[in-house]
Each structure stands twice: as C-alpha cells, then as structure tokens.
Amino acid sequence: MKNFIFLLVFILSFGFISQIHANEKTKCELNFDLSSWSVFYKSGKGSGKIFCDNGQEADVAIRAHGGGITFGKSKIVNGHGNFSKVKDIRQLMGSYATSEAHAGIKGSVGAEAMTKGKVSLAMSGRGRGYNLGIAFGKFKIAALKIHEPLAPDEDSKEDKPSKVTE
C-alpha cells in the first residue's frame, strides 16, 4: 500500500510540475535586415533570426506591405526587435498590424510597434536611404527553420546540436 501511495504521489506531482513548466513564458528578440520602397504603396522584404531565452531560435523571412502618404526607399541593417513574452516561438509567426510615421535623408532612423492579437513587437533600426510619410499595413514573419534545444542526455555530458524543424 505504501508503494502504491508513493507511486500515486509521484505521478500526480509530475503532472503538476509539467503543468507549471507548460505555463512558463519566454522572452524573444529579433535581429533583422529589411529593404523597402514606397510610392503610396509600401513594400519591403528581408530576413532575420529570432532568439528566445528558452533556447529556441528561428531563421525567418520578413515581408512588409501597406499604403498611405509615403514615398522613399530605405535599407535597415542590423535592426532589433523585442517581442512580448510567449509560451513558444511559433506564436511569433504570422501577420502584425502596423502604423508608422517615417522621415529620413541618407541616414534613416526608425522605431515601430506592432501587434498580432496578444503578441506585440517593438522594433528599431538605423539604415540608409530616403523616406517621408505615414503608412498603415501589415508586417509578416514566416519561419524558414526553427531550432529546438535538445534535452540534456544523462549518459553524455557533451553539448549536442539543436534539433531543426521546418
């Protein structure tokens, strides 16, 4: 009977601990490059990498589309973004609603905040080009590859490469 009670307590505590772990949220950041142009219609594309403090990483493609009273052409290199906390990196993929005001000649500096349901993204970056205007649209992040951290192997203390999913 003691063994049964011990086993029951062990199983229930394992379920409780795994539920606590499932509710944890992770902080993620985006490093990116983005080239865009606009003449009333705004279009941009680029690439980046998302890093999360739980070890997840993703190589991503970025697309931006919108419109407004906007003119210009610019390129942001080494831009940076911060996401609101999420349970899994996959929650960051998708389309974000954007609105922005921008102006720059030769050297552009920009900051933008956007949202996708409960997930938000604040971005900033320096670039080159020229631009002037206000625009509304969407900013889309698509995963090219997601890198999952592997659980440590009890038999080996060596670090193993992360698992890659597409």
pLDDT tens profile 20-30: 445 689 999 99
- Round to whole Å and give the CA distance between 110 and 17: 43
Higher pLDDT, 107 or 129: 129
DSSP-H helix ranges across the chain = 2-23
**Contact between residue 34 and residue 79 where contact means Cβ atoms under 8 Å apart:** yes
CB 47 within 8 A of CB 60: yes
Identify the top-confidence range among 17-21, 39-43, 125-129: 39-43
Render pLDDT for 135-152 as a digit per residue (tens, 0 to 9). Answer: 899 999 999 999 998 766
Which residue ranges make up each domain of the chain? 28-153+158-165
Q: Mind listing the pLDDT tens digit for each residue in 59-95?
A: 999 999 999 998 999 899 999 999 999 999 999 999 9
Q: Give me the pLDDT at residue 37, please.
A: 92
CATH level 2 (architecture), domain 28-153+158-165: Beta Barrel (2.40)
Q: What is the pTM of this model?
A: 0.75
Cα separation, 163 vs 161, in Å, equals 7
Give the whole-angstrom CA distance, residue 14 versus residue 29. 31
- Across the range 107-123, mean pLDDT stands at 86
